[in-house]
């Protein structure tokens, strides 16, 4: 009997996420968020990082003295985050398992982040709306919400129906994308070959990840309905973004009471 090599998203990817440098991107987004916060003269003391993954951004915030909670739906990604936190005892950081579409935590923070297109994993309008309502409920008045998304343009033309491969030595992957224009979803079938032991044997496994694209005017409308003002949308360099921008970084704020 052939062994099943298909896994839900991040069950196996969690093992290699940091090893292939995926977490670096969240640190890049965090640096941009920091620059944007300076611009608005905001100095958060408490933060919530939604879809925190392996926790790199939450840990980096905690190292700067920002008390940070990371929330993620994947037990496997959280296990990696907690392992990293255990290596730096005393940092003001904790990790909780939860769904960003419906979470209720006993905290109110002045910054909520969500990096590396995690928001694109929300596939239905009503779930994006529900997520923004949860964000509002956990933000203090005047608090900031900063997140990045793959644009519809990126899912259609960069993911598209393209195949990408990369060889990192101990890990090689093949990412096959399929774009569906009606639902604006990109389905990424990721085939991984990861070194399994010292005999140079490689294990093959597959995860399917689905992302949906949203237009800026839709995101703005859902933010507004949740009681959040969209201040600006920029590209990863901090320059104004539009629909042709591949990655859109949203900066929203809860009005002062």
Ligand X SMILES: C[S@@+](CC[C@H](N)C(=O)[O-])C[C@H]1O[C@@H](n2cnc3c(N)ncnc32)[C@H](O)[C@@H]1O
The only residue of 95, 116, 159, 192 in contact with ligand X, by rule CB under 6 A: 116
Binding of ligand X by 120 (CB under 6 A)? no
Binding of ligand X by 213 (CB under 6 A)? no
Measure CA of the first residue to CA of the last residue in the chain; give whole Å.
62
Q: For 105, how many CA atoms within 13 A lie in the half-sphere containing its CB?
A: 27
Binding of ligand X by 115 (CB under 6 A)? yes
- Residue 207 · residue 231 · CB < 8 Å: no
The only residue of 69, 74, 150, 151 in contact with ligand X, by rule CB under 6 A: 74
Binding of ligand X by 44 (CB under 6 A)? no
Which residue is nearest to ligand X, using beta carbons? 53
* Smallest separation (angstroms) from ligand X to the CB of 98: 6
- Residue 54 · residue 81 · CB < 8 Å: yes
Binding of ligand X by 235 (CB under 6 A)? no
Measure the CA–CA gap between 193 and 170, rounded to whole angstroms: 8
The only residue of 26, 129, 150, 151 in contact with ligand X, by rule CB under 6 A: 26
Helix 216-225 with 125-138: angle, nearest 10 deg: 50
Buried b / exposed e over 70-97, threshold 16 CB at 10 Å, is bbbbbebbbebbbebbeeeeebbbbbee
Binding of ligand X by 118 (CB under 6 A)? yes
Count CB neighbours of 245 within 10 A: 18
Q: Looking at beta carbons only, is 126 or 229 nearer to ligand X?
A: 126
The only residue of 10, 144, 159, 205 in contact with ligand X, by rule CB under 6 A: 10
* Smallest separation (angstroms) from ligand X to the CB of 200: 29
Binding of ligand X by 101 (CB under 6 A)? yes
Size of the site for ligand X (CB under 6 A): 22
Residue 248 Cα to chain centre, angstroms: 13
Interface residues toward ligand X, by CB under 6 A: 10, 22-23, 25-26, 51-53, 56-57, 72-74, 77, 99-101, 115-118, 121
């Amino acid at each position: 009997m052939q062994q099943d090599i298909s896994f839900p998203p991040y069950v196996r990817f969690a093992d290699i996420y940091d090893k292939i440098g995926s977490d670096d991107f969240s640190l890049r987004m965090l640096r941009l968020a920091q620059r944007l916060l300076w611009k608005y003269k905001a100095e958060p003391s408490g933060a919530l990082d939604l879809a925190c993954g392996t926790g790199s951004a939450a840990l980096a915030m905690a190292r700067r003295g920002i008390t940070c909670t990371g929330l993620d739906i994947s037990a496997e990604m959280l296990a990696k985050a907690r392992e990293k936190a255990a290596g730096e005892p005393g940092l003001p950081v904790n990790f909780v398992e939860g769904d960003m579409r419906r979470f209720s935590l006993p905290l109110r923070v002045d910054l909520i982040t969500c990096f590396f297109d995690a928001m694109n994993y929300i596939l239905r309008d009503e779930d994006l709306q529900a997520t923004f309502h949860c964000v509002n409920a956990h933000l203090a008045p005047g608090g900031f919400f900063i997140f990045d998304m793959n644009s519809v343009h990126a899912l259609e033309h960069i993911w598209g129906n393209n195949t990408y491969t990369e060889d990192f030595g101990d890990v090689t992957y093949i990412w096959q994308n399929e774009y569906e224009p009606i639902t604006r979803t990109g389905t990424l079938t990721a085939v991984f070959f990861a070194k399994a032991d010292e005999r140079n044997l490689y294990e093959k496994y597959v995860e399917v990840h689905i992302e949906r694209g949203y237009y800026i005017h839709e995101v703005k409308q859902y933010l507004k309905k949740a009681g959040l003002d969209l201040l600006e949308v920029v590209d990863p360099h901090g320059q104004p973004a539009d629909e042709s921008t591949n990655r859109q970084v949203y900066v929203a704020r809860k009005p002062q009471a």
